Amino acid sequence: MVEQQQIDKLRSVFAELKEKAGVDSAGAKKLELPKVERLVARLVEFSGCLGCQDYVVKLTGLLQGLTERFEQLERSDYKALSLLAQDITTHLEKEHQLIPDGYYIGTYIALGMSLGLIFGMSIFDNLPTGLGIGLSLGVAIGAGLDGDAKKKGRVI
């Protein structure tokens, strides 16, 4: 289990970076701080996982480096944080069965539109009608599943 000291250090380094970046600054947008904040919370939640422990250490080091040289950040710094965030997200999806926000709605819109095209051509003999029905069903089913996943706490 990750020591409480390491978790506290991650939280404090993130808070310091967030304070330096400000709320609505360009740096905060480039650093994707809300996303990183959600990832930090999930890593702390699953601190018993060995993979999450490794990511806590990696993320702490990266955030500390970004905080120290905040005024001179380069494109490679933003990219490094983005790649680490992507790795953490992939780990959380595979190992802890979490999903990104809007996962089901995107999936079911595509599926609904595909089926809508097929049924629009064959049954209704009217492509726009089938497409509209498929889109509506996809949004409805996807939104319902996304809401259910959010209630169960499975959203990153």
Percent of the chain residues past pLDDT 90, beyond the cut: 63
Whether residue 17 is contained in a domain is answered as: yes
Q: Please indicate, yes or no, whether residues 20 and 66 belong to a single structural domain of this protein.
A: yes
State mean pLDDT over 117-138.
Answer: 91
Q: Please indicate, yes or no, whether residues 91 and 28 belong to a single structural domain of this protein.
A: yes
Each residue of 13-31: pLDDT tens digit? 998 988 888 766 677 778 8
User: Phi and psi (nearest 5°) for 49?
Assistant: -80, 135
> Is the separation of the CB atoms in 135 and 109 below 8 Å?
yes
Q: What pLDDT score does 24 carry?
A: 61
Q: Please indicate, yes or no, whether residues 72 and 146 belong to a single structural domain of this protein.
A: no
Whether residue 60 is contained in a domain is answered as: yes
Three-state secondary structure call for residue 155: strand
* Residues in CB range of 95: below 8 A, 6 or more apart: 49, 51
Tally of structural domains, the chain: 2
State mean pLDDT over 81-94.
Answer: 95
